[in-house]
Amino acid sequence: MGVRQSGGGKQGDRSPVIASVDLAAVIAGDRSARAAFVDAHARLVHAVVVRTLRHHATEVVDATVEDLFAECFVAMFDRDARRLRQWTARCSLASWVRLVATSTVIDHLRRTRPPSEEGIERLPDGQAPLLELLVRAEDHLRVRAALARLAEADRELLVAMFVDEESVASLTSRLGIATGALYTRKNRAIERLKAAFEELGES
């Protein structure tokens, strides 16, 4: 586990402000360190919130953005900063913050928009967190390791949807299932993939 921002990851993620954050103090609960962490990542998290809402055809309301902005940092600091303790220097801290923020917004949308045929269609694909991992993630070895922990059916479904970009219509036809059932399977596979990443982070 890495506890200091060490400059790993893409150069574009490494601003002088972010690089100077004392992550060990943040994890320990130091208030000034946490305030500095929020200041360093505020622009990034705000952009992630807005982009993810727009990606899911959700109206971008200032009050909602502010609430989710705060919720993202609560998620990072909650349970003794468990999410931040899972970060390793094999990817940049900014990339990890981006992933946690995206997942937080997606979780909010799932809570506030109950699954239904109509709701599923309005929530396009829920791809943002997986695309972060499967397309933009810097640590491809960890992606493959996490996928390897899944059942074959889960792994093949995620690869088909997020790597091969097979259409929903094609998948439902090939698998012989309804759209709602496909999204249910996808969401469960995503949760299992997230759990696999957490297990890797703790090992």
CA pair distance 127, 67, nearest whole angstrom: 22
Return mean pLDDT, the chain. 76
CA 8 to chain CA mean position, Å: 19
Average pLDDT of the residues in 76-87: 89
Asked if the domains 1-112 and 120-203 are classified in one and the same CATH topology, the answer is no
Q: What six digits make up the tokens of 182?
A: 């496909």
Spatial contact of 143 and 134, defined as CB atoms under 8 Å apart: yes
Give 113-125 as a DSSP string: S---HHHHHHS--
* pLDDT exceeds cutoff 90 at 105: no
Average pLDDT of the residues in 11-27: 66
Spatial contact of 123 and 187, defined as CB atoms under 8 Å apart: no
Q: How many CB atoms lie within 10 A of CB 140?
A: 11
Domain boundaries, the chain: 1-112, 120-203
Note the pLDDT of residue 86. 83
Note the pLDDT of residue 19. 55
CA pair distance 151, 157, nearest whole angstrom: 10
Spatial contact of 87 and 1, defined as CB atoms under 8 Å apart: yes
Spatial contact of 79 and 85, defined as CB atoms under 8 Å apart: no
Average pLDDT of the residues in 116-135: 42
Range scoring the smallest mean pLDDT among 42-51, 98-107, 137-146: 137-146
CA pair distance 173, 179, nearest whole angstrom: 10
Distances 130 to 20, 61, 133, 143 between C-alpha atoms, Å: 29, 25, 5, 10
Range scoring the smallest mean pLDDT among 75-79, 92-96, 176-180: 92-96
User: What backbone phi and psi angles, to 5 degrees, belong to 59?
Assistant: -60, 130
* pLDDT exceeds cutoff 70 at 1: no
Average pLDDT of the residues in 170-179: 92
Closest CA to 101 of 117, 87, 113: 87
* pLDDT exceeds cutoff 70 at 99: yes
Note the pLDDT of residue 117. 33
Which CATH architecture fits 120-203?
Orthogonal Bundle (1.10)
Which CATH architecture fits 1-112?
Orthogonal Bundle (1.10)
